[in-house]
Amino acid sequence: MPNPDHAPNRLVAALAYEGLCAFEFGIAAEVFGLSRPEMGPDWYTFITCAEHQGPLATNVGLKVEAEAGLDALDKAGTIIIPGWRSDGAVPSDAVRDALLSAHARGARLVSICSGAFLLAAIGLLDGRRATTHWRYAERLGAAHPNVTVNADILYTEDSQVFTSAGSAAGIDLLLHLVRKDFGAAAANSVARRMVVAAHRAGGQAQFIERPVPSWPENKLAGLLDQLRADPSRSWTIDQMADAAAMSQRTLARRFQEATGTSPAAWLTLQRISVARDLLETTGLPMERIAEEVGMGTATNLRLHFVTHVGIPPNLYRKQFRREGAFPGASTSD
């Protein structure tokens, strides 16, 4: 049985290696390694560990030197794999054993981009759904047929094993971890400092064929802004097409190109995102939250929430709200 009085393990260890992917390592250090006194004393502690002492080359000519050895993985609650060699390089027995031991005791293992190759090489992705950069997805699936590789999503989560797509998707995944640990307000605060989107759902498409220029150059961007600003409005496809000054067929095509999904599905994801924030930060009853996000009834909110988040909204509130933040909150769903 979990001990409710046991403090969560906030030690985050990044695994460094020869040929280290500098950007992937950098975003891990940015999210978990910077001093954030506004977050209080329970914030993360960040260390870098490696199998061997001494300077390690990165993929951009820089060198890094880890402060700890692999024994640091024995103590970490979260272990970041910031990329890996996608050429099929096999990790040493020491690296494999340290990672498997950490996972067996309950640590989270988190790969960014090509880091999935390391998790696959040690067998941790067998029987699991995983992702990596779309350029490497076919190679990963061919090398590890027991892994269900999905190249169309940003990140995955399965029993304390997390994988992300290309570099920017790593930021999305790391913010997702902050959100799980500290709630929406903390994730939003970190995202603001990094000047990135606070939340992109893991199931969102990773490859966008055409960037969306800012308003007024592209009226689709203006429509997206309107949808985000007023998710409670009862939007129809016809109204969206009128707002974007497009036919419904053109709107559907442009939406797919820009977001990887349909207008209705994208709007549902925005509504779910707002609902998550309200569940974490307010004591509003479910019916009121459903009205605020444009889902009408608590039953409808619950249906979409379970579909996209995996658990009902009342359970999500119990798991992610700060204890005592709003003691009068309704737990009905």
pLDDT along the chain (333 residues), means of 10: 61 97 96 92 96 94 95 97 88 97 97 97 96 93 95 88 91 91 85 73 45 50 82 88 89 82 88 87 92 93 87 83 48 46
Q: Give the other-Cβ count within 10 Å of 262's Cβ.
A: 14
* Domains 11-194 and 265-320 equal at CATH topology level: no
pTM of the model: 0.68
What DSSP string describes 267-322? HHHHHHHHHHHHHHH----HHHHHHHTT--SHHHHHHHHHHHHSS-HHHHHHHHSP
Q: Please, are residues 155 and 169 in contact by the beta-carbon 8 Å criterion? A: yes
Tokens of 242: 């009128």
Q: What is the pLDDT of residue 197?
A: 65
Tokens of 11: 């030690």
In CATH terms, is domain 11-194 a member of 3.40.50.10310? no
In CATH terms, is domain 265-320 a member of 2.60.410.10? no
The owner of tokens 């040929």 is 19
The owner of tokens 């007023």 is 230
Domain boundaries, the chain: 11-194, 219-260, 265-320
Largest CA distance in the chain: 62
Q: What is the pLDDT of residue 183?
A: 83
Please provide residue 288's backbone torsions phi and psi, each rounded to the nearest 5 degrees.
Answer: -70, -40
